[in-house]
A and B are shown apart, each in its own frame.
Chain A
Amino acid sequence: MDVAIVGIGIHPFGRHDGVADVEMGVYAARQALRDAGLDWSDMEFAYGGSLGMTTGGGGASADTMVGHLGLTGLPFVNVSNGCATAGSALAMACSTIESGQFDLGLVVGFDKHARGAFDPDPAVLGLGKWYGDVGMMLTTQFFAMKINRYMHDHGISESTLAKVAAKNFRNGALNPNAWRRKPLSEEEILESPVLNYPLRQYMFCSPDEGGAALVVCRADQASRYTDRPVYVRGVALRTRRFGSFEVMAPWMPIERSAAPTVDASRACYEMAGIGPEDVQVAQIQDSESGAEVMHMAENGFCADGEQERMIQDGETEIGGRLPINTDGGLIANGEPIGASGLRQIHEICLQLRGDAGERQVPGDPRVGYTQVYGAPGVGACTVLTR
């Protein structure tokens, strides 16, 4: 993989009444272009992610940005691939550069979701209307049922779930672009109401608003734009196989197979020639604290069940052996789907550049990792290095 990230931009995540979704995307794009010392007219192609356009949620398709950034005629592809939208956009941008078609382009994503849990139309996921009628069309139920079974099988405690959320709120408090910036203690989290057993209110992320963008180019041209490129060593996207336990599934077979994140992460490490033991800072999908726990194993950072000790010992804290979700993750940033995976990569770039300020991981990290997962069973990962 010979692709470099030479510019990064982000619009703060959270609630921004009166700011249109596309404006957040444009804000992030302009910041990424400035970071690379480039203009929009320099961009040879763009991939733009947003969920709004496909779900009837009232969101803009990403390519409406060109009306604001400038109608240069560049090829602009709209991307919508569930919670892996941003990962998919980056994967396609990398392929575009690797193929030799273009050398320099923009990856951008934004979304402005309604308040409250996602409430998609069952038809969007190929399900009958009855599935929503009976009250099962909630992503949060899946996360709760997956971690409930996982806790039963692998001995994860409720305290560990609370510790993950407390860490992410604590990290979010150090991140000026985060939505939730008030630290919450493990006790406060355990006192919040159960929303979907065993998960409590402060263990969940919420849909929100934001934008993020990256300028990417051929690795051998990166020095033209920056003296601090971050290289994409691996990027992989996989969908569910027969037997994986996925969000909003009326049934599953008794035979189990690995989750799509497992397949994507293995492919990504192989492409990078870098293993999970080499990763020094990671941003992984924490739709709720149980997801972070399970994704630690799915991404190869530990065996099933080892998370209990690792988290109780603080190994995933900034300053720990493997800092995870140093910017507060989804729990503190919320989830504007089109931007969420790019927010993770933005954070890894800051960490590898040494620009993460109060939340900088010590020891001059060189290898970072990101992972997103979402409906209807898609995972996308990256391995990034200085």
Chain B
Amino acid sequence: MTVAQQVPVAPGLFTWPSDEPQLIGSRCPHCEVMTFPAQHGCPRCTRDDMEEALFARRGTLWTFTTQAFVPKSPPYIRVETAETFVPYAVGYVEFEGQARVEGRIDVADPSTLRIGMEMETVVVPLVDDIVTYAFRPVGEGSE
């Protein structure tokens, strides 16, 4: 599948197509708070003129978990059975001076995950031609 055929799970979440995808958020020009996804109103200082801003590509793993049972679909986009389901990991990555963002973690073996490890933003297939952002431990190769 070529990049051109791939569709983001939602518009405005990450830069795409891109060889070095970044999350798209918003920054408050008054109190510097960053949100993800982007929004107009500032949840901290309550003013309503937040501006679009990009997250750094790399951050550190703040916490994580695994999803070992089959999620209901909907809301999960993939319709799985106990036979087809492959457990996945999710976590929050802390982007220094920005915010902590939740996302899928792209890792072959979740038991290798450790709080504090360095992560980078990647874009991975979700289902069919739909792609999503995810976080991958730095140094872990593409699958």
Interface set of A (CB-CB < 8 Å, partner B)? 116-117, 119-122, 128-138, 141, 144-146, 148-149, 152, 193-199, 242, 249-254
Q: How far is the CA of A129 from the CA of B94 in the complex (A)?
A: 23
For B97-120 the 0/1 string (1 means CB < 8 A from A) is 111111110000010000100000
CB distance from A260 to the nearest CB of B (A): 15
Q: How far is the CA of A135 from the CA of B68 in the complex (A)?
A: 11
Contacts of A128 in B (CB 8 A): 10, 37
CB distance from A361 to the nearest CB of B (A): 34
Cβ B100 vs Cβ A133 within 8 A: no
Contacts of A146 in B (CB 8 A): 63
CB distance from B29 to the nearest CB of A (A): 16
Cβ B10 vs Cβ A130 within 8 A: yes
For B78-105 the 0/1 string (1 means CB < 8 A from A) is 1000000000101110100111111110
B9 close to A (CB within 8 Å): yes
Contacts of B35 in A (CB 8 A): 251
Q: How far is the CA of A253 from the CA of B28 in the complex (A)?
A: 12
Cβ A145 vs Cβ B63 within 8 A: yes
Given A130-B10, A133-B126, A250-B101; A138-B63 close (CB under 8 Å): no
Cβ B62 vs Cβ A149 within 8 A: yes
CB distance from A193 to the nearest CB of B (A): 7
Contacts of A117 in B (CB 8 A): 69, 71-72
Q: How far is the CA of A310 from the CA of B36 in the complex (A)?
A: 39
Cβ B72 vs Cβ A119 within 8 A: yes
Cβ B63 vs Cβ A148 within 8 A: yes
Contacts of A137 in B (CB 8 A): 71, 75-76
> Which of A122, A146, A195 has the most C-beta atoms of chain B within 10 angstroms of its own C-beta?
A195
B115 closest partner in A (C-beta): A152
Interchain CB contact (< 8 A) of B132 among A134, A199, A253: A134
CB distance from B77 to the nearest CB of A (A): 4
CB distance from A253 to the nearest CB of B (A): 6
CB distance from B94 to the nearest CB of A (A): 6
CB distance from B124 to the nearest CB of A (A): 10
A243 closest partner in B (C-beta): B44
Report the contact-size class of chain B (Cβ under 8 Å from the partner). 35 or more
Interface set of B (CB-CB < 8 Å, partner A)? 9-10, 13, 25, 33-37, 43-44, 62-69, 71-72, 74-78, 88, 90-92, 94, 97-104, 110, 115, 126, 130, 132
CB distance from B20 to the nearest CB of A (A): 20
Cβ B94 vs Cβ A148 within 8 A: no
B111 closest partner in A (C-beta): A197
B66 closest partner in A (C-beta): A197
Cβ B44 vs Cβ A242 within 8 A: yes
> Which of A117, A135, A193, A242 has the most C-beta atoms of chain B within 10 angstroms of its own C-beta?
A135
Contacts of B88 in A (CB 8 A): 135
Contacts of B77 in A (CB 8 A): 132-135
Cβ A242 vs Cβ B43 within 8 A: yes
Given A134-B77, A250-B101; A145-B10 close (CB under 8 Å): no
CB distance from B6 to the nearest CB of A (A): 15
CB distance from B104 to the nearest CB of A (A): 6
Known: A135-B67, A135-B77, A135-B88. 5 other contacts (CB 8 A): A121-B74, A130-B13, A133-B76, A251-B100, A251-B101
A-B contact pairs, 20 of them (CB 8 A): A117-B69, A117-B71, A130-B10, A132-B75, A132-B77, A133-B76, A135-B76, A137-B76, A145-B64, A145-B91, A145-B92, A148-B65, A193-B68, A195-B68, A196-B67, A251-B100, A251-B102, A253-B34, A253-B44, A253-B100
CB distance from A270 to the nearest CB of B (A): 26
Cβ B75 vs Cβ A119 within 8 A: yes
Cβ A136 vs Cβ B104 within 8 A: yes
Q: How far is the CA of A121 from the CA of B34 in the complex (A)?
A: 25
Cβ A136 vs Cβ B72 within 8 A: no
Contacts of A242 in B (CB 8 A): 43-44
Contacts of A130 in B (CB 8 A): 9-10, 13, 132
Cβ B72 vs Cβ A249 within 8 A: no
Contacts of A199 in B (CB 8 A): 65
Q: How far is the CA of A69 from the CA of B130 in the complex (A)?
A: 52
Cβ A149 vs Cβ B63 within 8 A: yes
A128 closest partner in B (C-beta): B10
CB distance from B34 to the nearest CB of A (A): 8
CB distance from B118 to the nearest CB of A (A): 16
Q: How far is the CA of A195 from the CA of B70 in the complex (A)?
A: 10
Interchain CB contact (< 8 A) of B71 among A119, A144, A254: A119
Contacts of B101 in A (CB 8 A): 250-251
